[in-house]
Amino acid sequence: MNQRLSRSTTISYYLVILLLLLTPILLVWQHFGMIRILEISPRQPHGARITDDSKINNGNSASSLTRTSDAFTMRCQLGTAVTYPFCKMQFLMGDPVQGMDFSRFDTITFNMRYSGPHPQSLKLHLMNFEPGLSIAGNWNSQRFNEAEIVVPAQPIFTIPLNVLRTAEWWRSTNKVPLSQSYTRLDHVTAVELSTGAIAAGQLVTVELRSIEFRGKWISKTNLLMCLVSAWIGCGLLAMLLGLLHFRSSLSASNSRLEDLTAIDRARKATEAAREAALAEAIQLARQRSNFIAQMSHELRTPLNAIMGYAQLLRRDSRELTERQATGLATIHDSGQHLLTLINDILDMARVEAGKMVLYPTPVHLGVFLQMVVDLMRVKAEEKGLGFSYELGADLPAAVSIDETRLRQVLLNLLGNAVKFTDRGAISLRVLPAPSADHAAVQPGQAVTRLRFEVADSGIGMSAQQRERIFQPFEQMANIKQREGGAGLGLAISEQLVRLMGGTISVISEPDKGSTFWFELAVPIAIDSPAAVPTPHAIASYLGERKRLLIVDDVAQNRAMLVDLLQTVGFIVAAAENGFECLALLESFRPDLILMDVMMPLLDGNETTRRIRQMPAWRHIPIIAVTASASQEDEAKCHEAGANAFLVKPTDHDVLLRTIGAQLSLEWMSAPPEPAPVEPGDEEGAGLVIPPAEEIEVLWQLAQLGNMRKIRERADYLQALDPAYEAFANRLHALARGYQSLALTALVARYRTDKALDQVGTT
């Protein structure tokens, strides 16, 4: 590689590394920072003043403004001399013509108390000066961006800025066409708080401590588009550097060829000299070909990274244009690693902020651990490592624990063991730990103590490394040619174990392997999941068809629920928010409502309250579904009138059985089909079905929706026995297409009670 090629390649690498470093920093900074705040308070009065109808419309209202060190207090005695008596507290914002730009703010937070007659409402005005329409000094000529606020009991409350609308009376007075009646906040000259529609003669007191306008300096969508543009620019720059080098190389080649020709003409070189010149020309041509091939490889690197940001942009797909959304289809794979880093950072931030909540459920200990072991045994066998698993005697059949978080800890520990072990074996042991005094979660509930050990024969750690291993962004060793990572896995595992009431420890020596262990005190599940045979998949129900209404603001959630519920025989309609739900009640007449809680415009709890106020719908079953799953959230849903409460992500069987309980349905189950293929079954023809224990592993993975693990398991089955190749190819095709329903149906077809019994006794 010549000097110019090395320089251009180095520049390309530096640009890619710089963008890789800046991208997560900017995304995390945008999520947790980049907040701009504009405050109106006695500390920032912004030209506070008061006015009433006596100063404008010859009214007889009387108002006064008192300012203290921590509050503005407006007292207003509304008169009767004018049709619309009012008092206003006004704050001047900057230049009377240029004003201030409020378009980048998102929310308005008030610290305010209201004393007066009902309704306790105020009007918020943001006066916007518009050249060609507004006149300096004439407030009524400025655009009235208006929002009516019903003052709650608590003094501090927040409203979104997008509730502001151009006042209808202002549009009519100024004869503004409907096409120009949108909200404008680019030249706000004043912020007003005005009394609402209150009868004359009433006394109103407003104590305002502060108004805060909050927003981001740059929106997430704009930041992501800038990052995508930067990656595109990086790719174009790399291409430009390559083209410049190609041009320079071509020019140098031509120059050297001319020199060789001149030398040949001048010196009448011998045949050997001519052959040497020809060989040199061939070498130059070969260098050009190698350069083109190398540049093609270099360009694929930034292009692959550009494709990766589709995962992030899809989260804000509703804020993108159709053209932008279509472009995301080509930007896919390179962002997977970055997405994992962001998820780990968010998990770490959630734990440190104390917002990580555990959701214990009864878990069959043997089945759960067997699934974890089956997942990691594949990884170990790929590296030629041994894998052993020991489940101690005298352990309870089922315990109550957060299955997801315990799985995350075990997979992190086992994954690190596989990663840092090149030869030898990995082991997982779950043993009863010495008992200690632990209070039961509920009176009369038994508690057991479990010890989890993950041991390996890998590289081990020094004492200095052991001291830092559980710190964020720490790596176990400076080892080349090893899988990358953010160094967050052990830090998150340590926090999760602590959250579950335990402490994680490690014993390790260099080149002698490591043993990670932790102990947890967990309640013994009263109703063991193993004691009840796993029911067959629900196929339908007896009786007339029931009508269900799904209310959820996320289109993907609605589509998934519609698909699920229609499959078992329900007649389903969907609404995007509470207003659409209320509008569909009379036309669709549902028998049950699945109500999402967190929705824009009208949330689920308020919608439920309104439904309960309608005599015709007072007793309709309503199931609240939310991702905010604290006890306080459940209490709020029941207080609003919900009959049942489910947590996202919701297990389909739990959802269906909850619906059945509310509607008193008698379910019809579809028994699993036997493994042999029936004559005439074209879809299953030629498939050799793996053993029952492998089918059970696939079933657990399908329930988790882990398509990557399913593809890995398919590769494992194909290597296990070539006869399973057709079955493995079917799994690959469904997993690549993310056809979770079809994949679940395929595995369920060959899942038998015998398979479950075999896994349960392992």
- What HEC string does 719-762 produce? HHCHHHHHHHHHHHHHHHCCCHHHHHHHHHHCCCHHHHHHHHCC
Q: How far apart are CA 606 and CA 610, in angstroms?
A: 6
Q: How far apart are CA 106 and CA 159, in angstroms?
A: 9
Residue 349 lies in a domain: no
Neighbours of 1 (CB within 10 A): 10
- The dihedrals phi and psi of 486, each to the nearest 5 degrees, come to -85, -10
**pLDDT greater than 80 at residue 309:** no
Same domain (yes/no): 418, 516: yes
Q: What is the CATH number of the domain that holds 415?
A: 3.30.565.10
Confidence grade of residue 307 (pLDDT, cut at 50, 70, 90):
very low
Which segment of 10-24, 168-182, 437-451, 659-673 scores lowest on mean pLDDT?
Answer: 437-451
Same domain (yes/no): 510, 436: yes
Confidence grade of residue 475 (pLDDT, cut at 50, 70, 90):
low
pLDDT of the residue at 628? 62
**pLDDT greater than 90 at residue 717:** no
Residue 679 lies in a domain: no
Same domain (yes/no): 81, 226: no
More confident residue, 157 or 327: 157
Same domain (yes/no): 46, 168: yes
Task: Report CA Rg, the chain.
Answer: 34
Same domain (yes/no): 241, 192: no
Same domain (yes/no): 172, 253: no
Same domain (yes/no): 664, 541: yes
Q: How far, CA to CA in Å, does 98 sit from each of 101, 128, 187, 738?
A: 9, 9, 5, 53
Residue with tokens 């998150």: 492
| Mean local confidence (pLDDT), 742-758 | 61
pTM above 0.75, yes or no: no
**Which pair of structure tokens corresponds to residue 65?**
């403004």
Closest CA to 659 of 535, 525, 555, 569: 569
Confidence grade of residue 347 (pLDDT, cut at 50, 70, 90):
low
Same domain (yes/no): 242, 380: no
**Residue pair 42/71 in contact by the 8 Å Cβ criterion:** yes
Q: What strands, in cross-sheet order, belong to the sheet with 622-626?
A: 571-575, 547-551, 592-596, 622-626, 644-647
pLDDT of the residue at 320? 55
The SS3 call for residue 103 is: coil
More confident residue, 90 or 631: 90
pLDDT of the residue at 288? 52
Same domain (yes/no): 256, 300: yes
pLDDT of the residue at 349? 54
pLDDT of the residue at 534? 43
**Residue pair 154/235 in contact by the 8 Å Cβ criterion:** no
**Residue pair 743/710 in contact by the 8 Å Cβ criterion:** yes
**Which pair of structure tokens corresponds to residue 449?**
């103590």
Q: What is the CATH number of the domain that holds 102?
A: 2.60.120.430
pLDDT in tens, 113-129: 998 888 788 999 999 99
Q: What is the CATH number of the domain that holds 664?
A: 3.40.50.2300
CB neighbours of 386 closer than 8 A, spacing ≥ 6?
A: 380, 424, 425, 426
Same domain (yes/no): 318, 395: no
Which of 216, 245, 266 terminates a domain? The answer is: 216
Q: How far, CA to CA in Å, does 455 sit from each of 414, 432, 753?
A: 8, 17, 34
**Which pair of structure tokens corresponds to residue 327?**
């472009």
Which segment of 112-121, 384-393, 459-468, 565-574 scores lowest on mean pLDDT?
Answer: 459-468
Which of 505, 530, 555 terminates a domain? The answer is: 530
CA angle 142, 600, 26 (to 5 degrees): 85
Same domain (yes/no): 91, 205: yes
pLDDT in tens, 140-194: 888 999 999 988 989 999 999 989 999 888 888 888 888 888 888 889 999 999 9
**pLDDT greater than 80 at residue 52:** yes
Read off the amino acid at residue 450: L
pLDDT in tens, 490-549: 888 888 888 888 889 898 888 888 999 999 998 988 755 543 344 455 778 888 899 999
**Residue pair 482/473 in contact by the 8 Å Cβ criterion:** no
Q: How far apart are CA 525 and CA 400, in angstroms?
A: 5
pLDDT of the residue at 571? 92
Exposed / middle / buried, residue 478 (Cβ in 10 Å: 0-12, 13-18, 19+): exposed
**pLDDT greater than 50 at residue 395:** yes
Select, from the ranges 70-74, 228-232, 301-305, 743-747, the one with the highest average predicted confidence (pLDDT). 70-74
β-strand 592-596 against 547-551: which pairing, if any? Answer: parallel
Residue 167 lies in a domain: yes
How many domains are there within the chain? 5
pLDDT of the residue at 129? 92
Residue 307, domain extent: 3-33+221-330
**pLDDT greater than 80 at residue 311:** no
| Mean local confidence (pLDDT), 31-53 | 85
Which of 605, 640, 670 terminates a domain? The answer is: 670
Residue 687 lies in a domain: no
Residue 677 lies in a domain: no
More confident residue, 161 or 250: 161
Q: How far apart are CA 686 and CA 679, in angstroms?
A: 11
Same domain (yes/no): 621, 661: yes
pLDDT of the residue at 682? 39
The SS3 call for residue 418 is: helix
pLDDT of the residue at 673? 41
Residue 336 lies in a domain: no
